[in-house]
Amino acid sequence: MSINPSQLPALAWFVHIARHRSFTKAATEMEMSRAALSQHLKNLEQQLNVRLLHRTTRDMSLTEEGQRLFDAVAPALKMIDTAVAELGEVPSAPSGLIRVNTSRIAARTLLEPHLGEFLARYPALRLELVLNDGLANIIADGADVGIRLGESLDEHMVAVPITPRIEMAVVGSPAYFERHGMPQTPAELIQHNCLAYRFTSSGTLDRWAFTEPGAEGHTQVFEPRGSAVFNDDESMLRAALQGVGLMKNLDICVREQLASGELVRVLQPWCPSFPGFYLYAPTRAQMPAKVRALIDFLREKRALLV
């Protein structure tokens, strides 16, 4: 027969009474009246249909049944008390497994370059990356946190920015521009070999959106048509570096190539900024130390992207 949950408080009160061998001392410790404590014990005895204590005006002792119950319940309550206390303790260092659901771009740009440093700083942590370019439900997927662009987040999530605002960048190699020239407006892209990206989650091609400079800010949408289609940013980047064609990607993903001169950016005035990547979690309440450690680490690295 399973235990009735309503009996659990009374069992805890019984253990306190039996340990002190006194209603008065137990009532004082538990900050309740002696009469109320006595009534709770009486109700427990009635529910169990057994007498647990011998009571006189001068003395109190356990019955045989009461002793058996005390011997069984007291250690169990001690284990529960220890478990609850340990949950409330703040560990000296973050530890355990932290599962991060992230897009491939975010993983390659924000996490992978710093994995060694992060894990060396927190040796008791283990990191699992779940690469998913769709809009994942991190709770349903069993992840601790997720990383997505700000415009993709559920408003009910706790979100922390881990990059500055970012822009889309249309880029090509110097050799490509020597052969084909540089487009000055999005309309001129029809004359260029524009490499396309196909989303793995939906199967659709990524359309290039541009906002006209100026107060009006009209939006133009262009569907890239070129000699190659990719569903992986790294493959598309390698093609652009070889001079195959133009590509569009987040500016933080091509920072190194732009700085080195391997790629050249065009149409920048037509690419306004928008919210960057955020680390998001279900709630800020009782946030685990391991999650807080990752947030602080990525916010620290955010300064390198400014």
Q: Residues 85-106: pLDDT tens digits? A: 666 555 557 889 999 999 889 9
pLDDT, tens digit, for every residue of 53-71? 887 767 788 888 888 888 8
Model pLDDT, residue 122:
94
- Taking the CA atoms of 38, 42, 45 and 47 in sequence, report the sign of the dihedral they define: negative
Is 172 within 8 Å of 163 (Cβ atoms)? no
SS3 291: helix
pLDDT, tens digit, for every residue of 116-165? 999 999 999 999 998 887 666 666 677 889 898 886 666 667 889 999 99
- Taking the CA atoms of 44, 48, 53 and 56 in sequence, report the sign of the dihedral they define: positive
Q: Per the structure block, which two tokens stand in for 189?
A: 């892209």
Is 167 within 8 Å of 138 (Cβ atoms)? no
The stretch 235-254 carries a mean pLDDT of: 96
243: alpha, beta or left? (left if phi > 0; alpha if psi -120 to 50): left
pLDDT band of 218, cuts 50, 70, 90: confident
Model pLDDT, residue 136:
63
Distance CA 96, CA 128 (A): 11
Distance CA 235, CA 77 (A): 59
pLDDT band of 285, cuts 50, 70, 90: low
How would you classify the pairing of strands 208-211 and 219-222?
Answer: antiparallel
The stretch 286-302 carries a mean pLDDT of: 89
Q: Mean of the per-residue pLDDT values for the chain? A: 86
Model pLDDT, residue 7:
78
Q: Does the predicted TM-score (pTM) go above 0.95?
A: no
Distances (CA, A) of 50 to 63, 141, 252, 300: 9, 49, 73, 63
Q: What angle do CA 274, 278, 284 make, to 5 degrees?
A: 135
Q: Outline where DSSP puts E strands in 164-246.
A: 168-172, 196-197, 208-211, 219-222, 229-230
The stretch 237-259 carries a mean pLDDT of: 96
- Taking the CA atoms of 37, 42, 45 and 47 in sequence, report the sign of the dihedral they define: negative
**pLDDT exceeds cutoff 90 at 43:** no
The larger pLDDT score, comparing residue 157 to residue 203, is at: 203
Closest CA to 60 of 7, 19, 29: 19
